[in-house]
Amino acid sequence: MERAKDEEEIAPLVLRDGVEEPIYFRVTDLKQWFYCPRIVYFQFVMPDLRPKTYAMEEGALKHAELRRRGRRWRGLPDGEYRWDVALRSEDLHASGLVDLVIDTGEELVPVDFKDSMKASAHFKMQLAAYGIMLEEAAGRTVERGFVYLLPRRRAEEVKLTARTKAKVRGAFREMLRSVLGETMPPPPKSQAQCVACEYRRFCDDRF
């Protein structure tokens, strides 16, 4: 049965095990896309290849520990703390779970906690995606967020500009084209992130 054009635009479908399923990326997929777009391609086009790694397990443990801490965090604005806020965007075809949203009464501020020494560019793009999704959910403009660097106990403010949000929307469109067209994207410019990548053995043009 042929789907209407507007329905296809709302929920593009991918064929998995003979069943058509709507595509909804995770916000963490966006982070991976900026780090290495091939990771997203492998996870959606060839999902059975994905191995479980120590890093994945450690990430889950870190967030479980984070939720047990009921304290305020230095450098973050005061307000109502809402932990593990589930978000979904029909515009981005994406969903995500933001670590923390602070409602100051005047603004909504997303916060993403990272076990990292610096707020890398792909972390900031991930935060911008949460900002877009909060705007859709609450009908309020989200102009800033924070990346909290756990090892340094430091909160870094990130301005969520219109230019940054446009870059995020463009990235999600590219992800959708790659998955629907089953087109493998080019590798990252540097091979440094390939060394410990769980998908390295599937890329025959890197080493």
Encode pLDDT of 87-145 as tens digits.
Answer: 999 889 899 999 999 999 999 999 999 988 999 998 999 999 999 999 999 999 999 99
Give the domain range for residue 175: 5-202
Domain count across the chain: 1
Domain membership flag for residue 124: yes
pTM of this structure = 0.79
Assigned domain for 207 exists: no
Residue 130 lies in a domain: yes
**CATH number for the domain that contains residue 30:** 3.90.320.10
**pLDDT over threshold 50, residue 179:** yes
pLDDT at 37 over 80: yes
Average pLDDT (59-76) is 62
State the pLDDT at residue 32: 86
195 within 8 A of 206, measured Cβ to Cβ: no
The full DSSP string for the chain is -PPPHHHHHHS-EEEETTEEEE--EEHHHHHHHHH-HHHHHHHHHSGGGPPP-HHHHHHHHHHHHHHT--S--TTSPPSEEEEEEEEEETTTTEEEEEEEEEE-SS-EEEEEEESSSS--HHHHHHHHHHHHHHHHHHSS---EEEEEETTTTEEEEEE--HHHHHHHHHHHHHHHHHHHTT-PPPPPS-SGGGTT-TTGGG-TT--
Report yes or no: 145 and 178 within 8 Å, Cβ to Cβ.
Answer: no
- pLDDT at residue 7, rounded to an integer: 35
Res. 8: pLDDT tops 60? no
